Structure 1
């Protein structure tokens, strides 16, 4: 089945998954679970894209756009890492954006659906980060096509999301029936690795100077025997993030496989 058909026929699943962030009572369940189970993944993912960017382009990024920024945790982390960087967070939840703005950091927080991003963001971005919310987009193909137009000449989109084939492993992390219901809806809305690969192929095939990579290995999806993996692992900040996660009793062996997708633009 073509990816366009898969995306169209699964739209109801994505709408259902979104209710766990828009409904007041449901959002308490999703926030509690995400803070407990995904905060370590978040810091590792941030250091992964920073390490990838510096190894690919031999410089630090000047700007980062976080799609689905929630209460601004990623933006706050980046603000503590860099003195001069343009940070923008976008989320459809007015409550989340209100909380993010209270952080008092030098960043722009925008309340908007990802579909309407071009109404609020026009500057080119070095990194666009989509962390564990790709399955919430009404039309992910259209959104990624839009985001590609926001990429600078040396840039990347990094997507981390659930793998639908890992539902069983994901349910092992639930601590209540409510969390099980939350996870079932999120996994039903997600793609498989092959579907994800098809989607990134479709959105990049006619883009000049744009390529993509996908995988489900722990660090960035890169094969642990690849030169790219070893290049990333030489980065001290990524090493520190991994050590911190171990200190927080983060157990890689118990984590379900995630999808990792990179869209890379290099026109220089």
Structure 2
């Protein structure tokens, strides 16, 4: 079980996450919703320790993740894989090498530096790609793929880490409806077939309702809703989004711009590669 105890993150006078308390059982699929700037991306970065909490605890299997450093922190980031809105692939490298970067933590330093992979590791990467219907692209450069294909490769890379938890920060915000469905179907399949905990930041209510066992609503850094999809009433959605019902319904069917928090997460993740 993943537990947050009075978890907060402040940036100067701005509180991005305010005293968050959650218990997320293993194997649950959770959707986090809210307007841009509500604190959704900061919350995921805290879980992955791409940013450090100002206060509070992140407890998993009896360990306070907020206190980890060095090798133990790198091990946690391997166990708690992150999928980004903008894919975060290396465009000049082929697809299979991008997927295999998810295995770097398990390799000796010299193999990581030289990108030397065994036949077993390559077979493992192909299997991960095959689950996402992308095995046929293994030798293509990542930059030649469409956005939806790149996101599926990014999910395969996360699977290559053999994580216990998958975090997805706005994984479909920049995708067309067909590719968005493919990506969300893939995440739901991983959750159901592998029993992995999946926590997604999502812009649209319909997506959260259709795919998630549980929905968490955030507003101004605070958790203002935590329950099953059927409990997310129109009045509660208004509180989360600060809008009239017809406004957030319209937003749910429109294409949204990339969240500035997600862009910041990419920059921080690149610094840890």
TM-score clears 0.5: no
**Normalising to structure 1: TM-score of the pair?**
0.32
Larger Rg: 2
More helix as a share of residues: 1
